[in-house]
Amino acid sequence: MSRKRTWTQLRLVVIHSTEVYIRLNIDQSPFNVGVSIELSDFSEQQVQDLSQQYALNWKGDQVKQLMNSIGGHPFLVQQAVNYLKTHPSTTLAQFLETASTESGIL
């Protein structure tokens, strides 16, 4: 597998230092820092708007097909729309047929 291909599959990086700079409560995770933001699922209208922004020009039934397959999960919707935009020869039907198989997108 090429190095470029390997880096495109990366989704999350966690960095951990073994040196102790401050004393931490051993009953609490040191990763509980920052602001937690919970994204709600996209509505059909939001998915329709996103598809228009990607110039996919989907009809309502195509949005419903995608929503029936993956729901409104923001990451999955974005991955699907981005893939279909960058692979114009792939139809939504073809995408949905292979999405949950090993031959689907990575």
Cα distances from 32 to residues 27, 35, 36, 43, 106, in angstroms, run 12, 9, 9, 30, 29
pLDDT in tens, 35-69: 777 889 999 999 999 999 999 988 879 999 999 98
Spatial separation of the C-alpha atoms in residues 38 and 45, rounded to whole Å: 20
pLDDT of residue 60: 77
The pTM for the full model equals 0.62
Higher-pLDDT residue of 77, 104: 77
Cα distances from 80 to residues 25, 27, 38, in angstroms, run 41, 40, 20
Both structure tokens of 102: 């090993």
